[in-house]
Amino acid sequence: MMTRRTMLELTVLSAAGAVAAPAADPPFTLPKLPYALDALEPYIDAQTMQIHHDKHHQAYVDNLNKAIGGDPVLSRLSVEELLQRLDTLPAAVRLAVRNQGGGHANHSLFWQTLCPASKGGKPGVRLAAALERVFGGPNQFEEKIQAAALGVFGSGWAWLALDQAKNLTLDTSPNQDSPLLAGKQPLLGIDVWEHAYYLKYQNRRADYLKAIVKVVNWDFINARYEDLTR
């Protein structure tokens, strides 16, 4: 059911000009990878990256556009805003936003949190201290997120996120559910859908997880942490 607050927000958007005909361009687009397809070799192979980004992520974008691209109000919101207020959206689009919008948001962050192994950097002083407090240290965190990701039944994600009190949390989610649905801000998501690793690792999810932690972009995660906690 649409809440009064959302009605008001949508009214404000409409008053701002959102009632005009939908733009010819679809509102959501596939972001470019911030590195070459083979940049994460040998840990993540180029063919997996190409199919994962160009096909799977593109499909989430296309399906989200199909679901709400014709709505002049909803299509003015960012995918993160849509997910954060999912319960207030019209029932007819809620599932598509959760699944397709979740897929778009999750993968958009995922690409940025990876980088070539030689360029990953490390957590800064504040983030390292928080990892120490919550998990026992960066190495222990790495072990814990791998274990959490290994334990996801079927398709889903393991997350390092910030809760509303700005504390670090380690979570898992099924399907394409985003931490944004729970009012959290994701910092790092490990994709454990088979499409993320099956070509190279087949059923060996544990081997994929040992590999992907080698190409985590800590400099990016650290900057995001600083932005979200200052």
Residues at the site binding Fe ion, with contacts judged by CB under 5 A: 191, 193, 196
> What would the two tokens of residue 39 be?
């940049």
Query: How many other β-carbons are positioned within 10 Å of the β-carbon of residue 131?
Result: 21
Region for 60 from its dihedrals, namely left if φ exceeds 0, alpha if ψ lies in -120 to 50, beta otherwise:
alpha
Give 30 or 134: the residue with its C-beta nearer to Fe ion.
30
Q: Which amino acid is at 102?
A: G
Dist CA 132 CA 129 (whole Å): 5
Give 171 or 191: the residue with its C-beta nearer to Fe ion.
191
Q: How far is the CB of 211 from Fe ion (least distance, A)?
A: 15
Q: How far is the CB of 110 from Fe ion (least distance, A)?
A: 7
In the chain, the N- to C-terminal Cα span, in Å, equals: 35
Give 128 or 152: the residue with its C-beta nearer to Fe ion.
152
Dist CA 117 CA 218 (whole Å): 11
Dist CA 49 CA 203 (whole Å): 18
Q: Which amino acid is at 126?
A: R
Q: How far is the CB of 148 from Fe ion (least distance, A)?
A: 17
Q: How far is the CB of 214 from Fe ion (least distance, A)?
A: 18
Q: How far is the CB of 52 from Fe ion (least distance, A)?
A: 6
Q: How far is the CB of 155 from Fe ion (least distance, A)?
A: 9
Give 82 or 192: the residue with its C-beta nearer to Fe ion.
192
Give 75 or 146: the residue with its C-beta nearer to Fe ion.
146
Long-range contacts of 153-160 (CB under 8 A, 24+ apart): 155/192, 155/193, 155/194, 156/192, 156/193, 157/106, 157/189, 157/190, 157/191, 157/192, 158/189, 158/190, 158/192, 159/184, 159/186, 159/187, 159/188, 159/189, 159/190, 160/186, 160/187, 160/188, 160/189, 160/221
Give 70 or 151: the residue with its C-beta nearer to Fe ion.
151
